[in-house]
C-alpha cells in the first residue's frame, strides 16, 4: 500500500487489509509506505488512528517508512492511492515486471477506472471517514480475489 507520506491513506489500507486477512485466516504479508521523507518514523495522523479505532482496528503502532526498490521483490501486489503515487513507483521500477505488480487500489472495486483515493491530510474527520469507506470497499474486493485464487 503506497501513498505520499505513509501517515494517512496507506496505513489505513494496511490496517483494514490486515484485519480482513486475519478474519479470513489468510496468511499473507501486508505493509505500507510512502515516497516523501518528511514523515519517516512518524505515527499515522491522529484522525486516521481515530477512524480506524472506531472500526475496531488499531494502527497506532505503525511508523511511516519510504518505498524501497526491494518492495518489488518482497510483494506480489503494490497498490497505490493516486496518479502521483503511481508515477513515483514507476520512476523507480527497474523493468516491466516490476510495474506488472502495481495498480490503483480502487481498480479492485472499479476495474480500469484509476479512481484516486483523495488525500485527507488537509481535510477533516469526514474526509478520513470517506477515505476509510473507499479503502474498505477496495480491500473487500482484494480479499474476494485472494479467496477465489485459493479455491
Residue 143's closest CA among 9, 6, 8, 18?
18
Nine-digit cell at 23? 478474519
Q: Is 66 helix (H, G, I), strand (E, B) or coil?
A: strand
The DSSP 8-state label assigned to residue 37 in this structure reads G
By annotation, the residues acting in catalysis are 3, 9, 119
Q: Pick from 103, 23, 16, 105: which is nearest to 62 by CA? A: 16
Amino acid at each position: 500500500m503506497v501513498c505520499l507520506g505513509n501517515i494517512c491513506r496507506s496505513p489505513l489500507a494496511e490496517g483494514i487489509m490486515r484485519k480482513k486477512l486475519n478474519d479470513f485466516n489468510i496468511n499473507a504479508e501486508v505493509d505500507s509506505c510512502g515516497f516523501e521523507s518528511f514523515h519517516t518514523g512518524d505515527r499515522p495522523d491522529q484522525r486516521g488512528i481515530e477512524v480506524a479505532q472506531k472500526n475496531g482496528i488499531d494502527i497506532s503502532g505503525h511508523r511511516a517508512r519510504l518505498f524501497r526498490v526491494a518492495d518489488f521483490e518482497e510483494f506480489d501486489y503494490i497498490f497505490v492511492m493516486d496518479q502521483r503515487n503511481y508515477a513515483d513507483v514507476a520512476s523507480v521500477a527497474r523493468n516491466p515486471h516490476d510495474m506488472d505488480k502495481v495498480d490503483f487500489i480502487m481498480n479492485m472495486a472499479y476495474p480500469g477506472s484509476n479512481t484516486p483515493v483523495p488525500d485527507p491530510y488537509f481535510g477533516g474527520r469526514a474526509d478520513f471517514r470517506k477515505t476509510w469507506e473507499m479503502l474498505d470497499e477496495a480491500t473487500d474486493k482484494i480479499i474476494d480475489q485472494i479467496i477465489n485464487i485459493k479455491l
